[in-house]
Amino acid sequence: MEILVTGHKGFIGTEVYAKLKADGYNVTGMDIGDRLPDTKFDYIIHLGARTLIRKSKELPYEYFEDNVGLTMRMLEVARKRGSAIVYATSGSVSEATNPYSLGKKQSAEWIELYQKLYNIRRYTLKFYNVYGPTCRKGAVYLFCNAVLKSLPVTVYGDGSHIRDFIHVKDIVKVIERIVDGKVAEGVHEIGTGKGTSVMELIKNIEKKTGKKLQITHADYVLSEADALFAKSPLLDTTIDLDSGIDEVLAALKKRQD
């Protein structure tokens, strides 16, 4: 089986690419700006995208070109070569308030149109807040790194907004199941189904480390939803946030040694 993984050098893509390779699949990696290989792929795992939400306000066209534009390229490959496409969208598309989330929403709509017009096989996966020991961004990483290094952190709003934190290993598990034919085509929510506020996350990290974070509150750069978490998560069981934070803290401490 031939598999293309776009964004294979990114946080999630690296994990997916490595695991599929280890499983014995023929896996090709591609990132933004790379030349598209002339191969008939059974699956296109489309993870490649610009992902910094606040940066998208500064670079709306670049986010359109590298997110929606690249998705259209992958859809054309799927249409012409008979590939199934696995697309990573975001839980934030329910309230698209910035160029990043709007691009993800529009890409998902294009995928549904291609499915209706051309009968492509598609798996649209709504990722929530993905974290893990190799991550270099996101709330779990930022707060864990800051508390260990005694760095100040900025919390936008009052910290009451709720998010769904899903471990990257659970993302990999879902994609493995798709490639193995164990997931039905369609749109799936990839989260834990459990909401955690930013301040609850901070208090958990402080309790584990016995250190207080230096917090500054600021107004939102972009409007954000009060609560984003999976209502009907695909996975029945996921890695719990408490043990996931332990893993991130351990990885950060090891890098500091």
Per-residue pLDDT band for 223 (boundaries 50, 70, 90) equals confident
Please say whether the beta carbons of 152 and 202 come within 8 A: no
Give me the mean pLDDT over the 77-98 stretch: 89
Q: What is the pTM of this model?
A: 0.94
Please say whether the beta carbons of 102 and 63 come within 8 A: no
Provide the 10 A C-beta neighbour count for residue 195: 17
Per-residue pLDDT band for 249 (boundaries 50, 70, 90) equals very high
Q: What is the pLDDT of residues 132-174, one digit of tens each?
A: 999 999 999 999 999 999 999 999 999 999 999 999 999 999 9
What structural domains and CATH numbers belong to the chain? 2-256 (3.40.50.720)
- Look at residue 3 in the predicted model and tell me its pLDDT: 98
Q: What is the 3-state secondary structure (H, E, C) of the chain?
A: CEEEEECCCCHHHHHHHHHHHHCCCEEEEECCCCCCCCCCCCEEEECCCCCCHHHHCCCHHHHHHHHHHHHHHHHHHHHHHCCEEEEEEEHHHHHCCCHHHHHHHHHHHHHHHHHHHHCCCEEEEEECEEECCCCCCCHHHHHHHHHHHCCEEEEECCCCCEECEEEHHHHHHHHHHHHCCCCCCEEEEECCCCCEEHHHHHHHHHHHHCCCCEEEEECCCCCCCCEECCCCECCCCCCCHHHHHHHHHHHHHHHHC
Give me the mean pLDDT over the 170-180 stretch: 98
